[in-house]
Amino acid sequence: MDLKFLLMLQDFRNGAGDCLAEFLNKMTFLGDLYTTIAVVAIIYWCVSKKLGVFLMLGWSGNRLLNGFLKATFCVYRPWIRDPRIIPYGDAMSNATGYSFPSGHATNAGTLFGGGAVRKDFPIILRVALIVVVALVGFSRMYLGVHTPQDVLFGAGQSLLVMWLTFKLIQWLEVNPQKDWLVASVGIALAVALAVYAALKSYPADYDAEGRLIVDGKKMVDDTFRCVGWILGFFVGWILERRFVRFTTDVPLMTKLTRCVVGMLGLYVVTLILMPWIKVTLSGPVGAVLSCFVQMLYVTFIFPWTLKLLERRESTPLFIG
């Protein structure tokens, strides 16, 4: 039934022209991994540190669950299951790893659904955020890269995790000294996920000519990347809380400066340092370490740099 629904959408897409398809092709990037990281980083550095921590903590939980489910169920992408399904344009380029659950729906549920579960946000904003989550999820089906099950579970999972994260943040505000416990559990679960993904067996299906259809070891690369991001967040989060303690309660010009400088650094880390690490250390180690460094930059390295600049500058450019 799920594939029949995608074929129905594909027939409609082919008959409707590119207008709606191009809109949804752009909408899907709101759930892209690097879009999520960039937006959350800006919030964390420049808008609200508290909100940024909430989003990154919830995203870490969602990526942990998403990585575990992908490695466990090993669901093939729709076009592998049915060659009649032809994804739109270049949609396949950012559809990596196994299909269930949808990573884009999970990211959108984290970034936008995270605001929707907060009762301190205006109701009209919360409704608008849910609409964005729905559009991102629908775009994945309309483009032919995910089934309804992939999308619905990814979005539903992420909203539940963000609600639980909101409760956890409230508990941490009452028990701030317990942050090490939260970080320790998160790190332990990430390490356990890495071991699980590395040791388990994966489906090995072959076509009529005896060629392996899907290499499970490559498909599970997404799971190892999740491990790196999770480790990077929890290590950076604790280090920042212990040794940096920056604040976003700063003048507008300082926020703008942080945004520009921080994003330039993230651009260098993402496009230069991470590929170099992956080439130097191929396989799971490279995937984990590259994403660890990226998230550590967001949570600790750049905030720490701000504090160093504050000490050296005579003017309060980076007051923390």
Among 99-113, 202-216, 219-233, 286-300, the range scoring the smallest mean pLDDT is: 202-216
Residues 6+ apart with CB under 8 A from 276: none
Amino acid letter, 264: L
Q: Which domain holds residue 32?
A: 2-312
Residue 126 included in any domain: yes
Say whether pLDDT at 320 is over 50: no
Contact status, residue 221 vs residue 288, Cβ threshold 8 Å: no
Count CB neighbours of 98 within 10 A: 25
Residue 319 included in any domain: no
CA atoms of 59 and 72, how far apart (whole Å): 20
Residue 121 included in any domain: yes
Give the chain's domain count.
1
Give this prediction's pTM: 0.89
Residue 131 has a pLDDT of 93
Quick: pLDDT tens for 68-79: 998 899 888 898
Residue 165 included in any domain: yes
Quick: pLDDT tens for 145-176: 999 999 999 999 999 999 999 999 999 999 99
Residue 238 included in any domain: yes
Count CB neighbours of 73 within 10 A: 11
Quick: pLDDT tens for 86-109: 888 787 777 777 889 999 999 999
Quick: pLDDT tens for 244-299: 999 999 889 889 999 999 999 999 999 999 999 999 998 889 999 999 999 999 99
Residue 124 included in any domain: yes
Count CB neighbours of 308 within 10 A: 11
Residue 320 included in any domain: no
Q: Which helix (H) or strand (E) holds 185?
A: helix 179-199
- Reduce the DSSP state of residue 246 to 3 states and report it: coil
